Structure 1
Amino acid sequence: MNTNPDNDTELRIKINRETARLPWAELERHFAQGTVVFVSPDLDLIDVAVRISHDDKDSIARWMADSRVGKVTVEQAQAWSEGQAVLWTAVVSPFVLVQAEKAKLN
């Protein structure tokens, strides 16, 4: 079994295929269970999911310290609910990772 998160092609493909855009309303029950984790738009959602699945504590701790990954706050949840946000999602059981869409470049 491959344990290098930088070279885990099969897992990256699996997570990528399972990534979806979902309205926040469909994620609220997971938020209530405390399993929704936000990922900053400046990070690659698939890379974060792979590193979490490999329990890459160093990367995760660094991102959390920089507030780039963390549990969704009540304030975030309220803003997404009010704005009827649609978020990119990836599941790394038991977590649902969410990421706001990156701003489109014109």
Structure 2
Amino acid sequence: MSQSPSTLYAKLLGETASITWQELQPFFARGALLWVNEGLDLIAVAEAVAENQASKVSGWLAEGSLGKVEEERASDLLSRDPQLWAVVVAPWVLVQEKAERSALH
């Protein structure tokens, strides 16, 4: 297996953008928003979704590392307004909270 990023990975990386919760709320309302936990690579997850890699995606869903944004998380995001990363893999928008690198003093 090659260690270089795939063409799809590079394409998705180029389409990933910083976004606010305010901008994501319409996608949440439609049920089209998937949360990617901090421990996962947002782009690798998007690539697996785009390529219908069912075993990977179902594993993340089963362990709770990937899933629809729940009401509780939506309320938390609304109150905190953290920086988020998002990438579209139609019909989904995958979103992840940006890591706080400056938190390591």
TM-score normalised to the size of structure 2?
0.90
**SS of the residue aligned with 2:40?**
coil
Supply the RMSD in Å over aligned alpha carbons. 1.7
| Matching of residue 52 in structure 1 with residue 49 in structure 2 | yes
Q: How far apart in 1 are the matches of 2:32 and 2:78?
A: 17
* Residue in 2 that maps onto 1:89: 86
Give 1:7 shift.
7.0
Gaps of 5+ in 1: none
Q: Deviations over 1:36-90 (max 9, x none)?
A: 0000110000100000001111111111111100000000011001111221101
TM-score normalised to the size of structure 1?
0.89
- Aligned mate of 2:33, from 32, 36, 54: 36
- Aligned mate of 1:101, from 95, 98, 102: 98
Q: How far apart in 2 are the matches of 1:95 and 1:33?
A: 10
- Aligned mate of 2:11, from 14, 26, 35: 14
How many residues align? The count is 102
Q: Which runs of 4+ in 1 moved over 6 A?
A: none
Gaps of 5+ in 2: none
